[in-house]
Amino acid sequence: MAQNETVTEADTKRSDDDVWTEGPDGELIPDYDSTFPIINEGEVVRGKVVRVDKDEVLIDIGYKSEGVIPVSELSIRRSVNPSDEVNIGDEIDALVMTKEDADGRLILSKKRARFEMAWKRIEQAAESGEPVEGTVIEVVKGGLILDLGVRGFLPASLVDIRRVQDLDEFMGQTLRCKVIELNRSRNNVVLSRRAVLEEERKEMRQAILDRLSPGDVVTGTISNIVDFGAFVDLEGIDGLIHISELSWSHVNHPSELLEIGQEVQVKVLDIDRERQRISLGLKQTQSDPWQQVIDSYDQGDVVDGKVTKVVTFGAFIEIVPGVEGLVHISELAQHHVENPREVVSQGDTVKARIIEMDPERRRLSLSLKSVEGEEGADGDTPALGLSEEVFTDSAEAEPAPELSAEAEPEAREETAPESTDESVEADQVAPQEQGPGDSEGGHPAPPEEEETT
């Protein structure tokens, strides 16, 4: 620049980063707009909270005006108090919704900024399989709602390894979950806490499986009861007691014997190490009632029992607790039985004979009709309702009449027994055996008179 040259306003404008601009009259005026950051709708900006009201929050983002966050755009929670979400001086991220509304205000959204950032984080977690953390903010029908920056749904069946009875206990807790379903178009995120817990307990389960062997007796806690049995928590892994392994006697439902939280001693029946499943038995830790039957009874003994079930083919009778025998329909009564309920009903106490014992197959065959027949054979002649007096009175009232010689043949004919088959056959043969002197009737003919000379 030459010594005599002066610095003009135009030179200043060009050299001061466009702080100055030319006004309508050609004069230079400060260009305040160039000092403000450039923002676009949909962009996430960072600012400081400068004011908190009951219905909105003001944010200084360095723009020509302060941004306004309506209370509805503060959080994904419903009915929030602004002072619970932010405090004056906090630096927060917000998404630009409108650069200038009808009132010239800059409208921002804190929850949408969190949503955008959270969604990217959730997508990455879903791809990598890493868990995400969220706070339980609602208990809804069928599960929990977690605040992940977006609303995540945790179904009740996936809250824990076993079914949770009361979901309210998780309210306000921070949970680690895996993302199992993601749908951006519907803003839908489905979570599973059980997957995280199972992963954490995987090594523990393997150690338990390596330690256990079939035949071991272990102690556990009833964790769940279902129609087909009960699950037992063995300090890290659940084993199943099938309903048939609960008791030596018949069980209609496991809840008759067990309740959740109850401590039980069980026997390990089988282990599927590949599928990590354990089969347990409860009745195996109790005395076998079949041994009592073997020690106390023999085939042919008559026992007292109670009818436990009546079916189309017979009835089941419990002779000792836990041991039932079958009375086949053909063994219910001496007469023909169409329906077992004609003879016995559930709850009846009866006497039955043991006709077959099979301890190996744990089967017992009983008979009612053999006991019934025995009672009839051992008893006296069936009572007809007649006393000795009846016979005495009859004898005294009607003495036997004396028969004359003439009346005797007629009386004999009246009292003669009916002819048997043998007598009939004899009569039919008699005419062939008649002698020359016999008459046609089979009686001797009178002698012919001798001729006199």
- Residue 25 pLDDT greater than 80, yes or no: no
Output the pLDDT for position 235.
80
Which sign, positive or negative, has the C-alpha torsion 279, 285, 286, 291?
A: positive
Q: DSSP string covering 344-392, please?
A: --TT-EEEEEEEEEETTTTEEEEESHHHHHHHHHHS-SPP-S--HHHHH
How far apart CA 274 and CA 255 sit, in angstroms, is 30
| Predicted confidence (pLDDT) per residue in 129-179, tens digit | 899 999 999 999 899 999 888 889 999 999 998 788 889 999 999 999 999
| Predicted confidence (pLDDT) per residue in 223-232, tens digit | 899 999 999 9
Output the pLDDT for position 389.
41
Mean pLDDT of 74-87: 83
Output the pLDDT for position 140.
92
Output the pLDDT for position 43.
82
| Confidence class for position 36, pLDDT limits 50, 70, 90 | low
Cα 141 versus chain centre, distance: 21
Note the helical H segments in 260-366.
289-296
| Confidence class for position 412, pLDDT limits 50, 70, 90 | very low
| Predicted confidence (pLDDT) per residue in 183-222, tens digit | 888 888 999 999 998 888 777 888 888 888 999 999 999 9
| Confidence class for position 407, pLDDT limits 50, 70, 90 | very low
| Predicted confidence (pLDDT) per residue in 368-390, tens digit | 998 876 654 444 433 333 333 43
Burial letters for 23-61: b for 16+ Cβ neighbours within 10 Å, e otherwise? eeeeebeeeeeeeeeebeeeebbebebeebeeebbbbeb
Output the pLDDT for position 153.
94
- Residue 254 pLDDT greater than 90, yes or no: yes
What's the whole-number average pLDDT of the chain? 77
Output the pLDDT for position 27.
67
pTM over 0.75: no
- Return the percentage of the chain with pLDDT > 70, whole number: 74
